[in-house]
Amino acid sequence: MKVYKTGMALAIAAAAVLAVSSPAMAGEYANDAASKFTRGLANTATGWGEIPKNIALESEESNVLVGITYGTVKGVFHTVGRTVVGALELGTFFIPNDEVVQSTYVWENTNEETTYDL
C-alpha cells in the first residue's frame, strides 16, 4: 500500500509540473516555429539581395572592377546559400532550431559578409 501511495504522489506531482509548464513551453514553441517560418519565407524570397550586397562590399574593400566581377560571383553563391537555407527552414519550420544564416535577413548588417553556422 505504501508503494501505491508513493507512486500516486509522484504521478500527481509530475502531472502538476506538466500542467504548469506546458502552456509556457507551447507558447515558446509557437514563437520559435513562427520565427523560423518567417526567416525561411524572407530568405527564400530575398536571397537575390546577396548579389548587390556583395558587389557593394567588394567595391568598398577593393575597387569597382573587383566589386562587379568577384562581388557578383560571391553574391551568386550567397544567393544560392541563403535561398536554399530559407527553403529548408520553410519546409521544417515545425522543428525549431538556431539560425543558420548570419545575418538573419539580407537587409541586416549590409556592411558585413554573410556567414553560415552549420
Give pLDDT tens digits along the chain (118 positions).
565 566 666 666 555 554 554 555 668 999 999 999 999 999 999 999 999 999 999 999 999 999 999 999 999 999 999 999 999 999 999 998 989 999 899 999 899 999 999 8
DSSP per position, the chain? -HHHHHHHHHHHHHHHHHHHHHHHHHHHHHHHHHHHHHHHHHHHHHGGGHHHHHHHHHHHHS-HHHHHHHHHHHHHHHHHHHHHHHHHHHHTTTS-----EESSSTTSSTTS--EE--
Model's pTM, two decimal places? 0.75
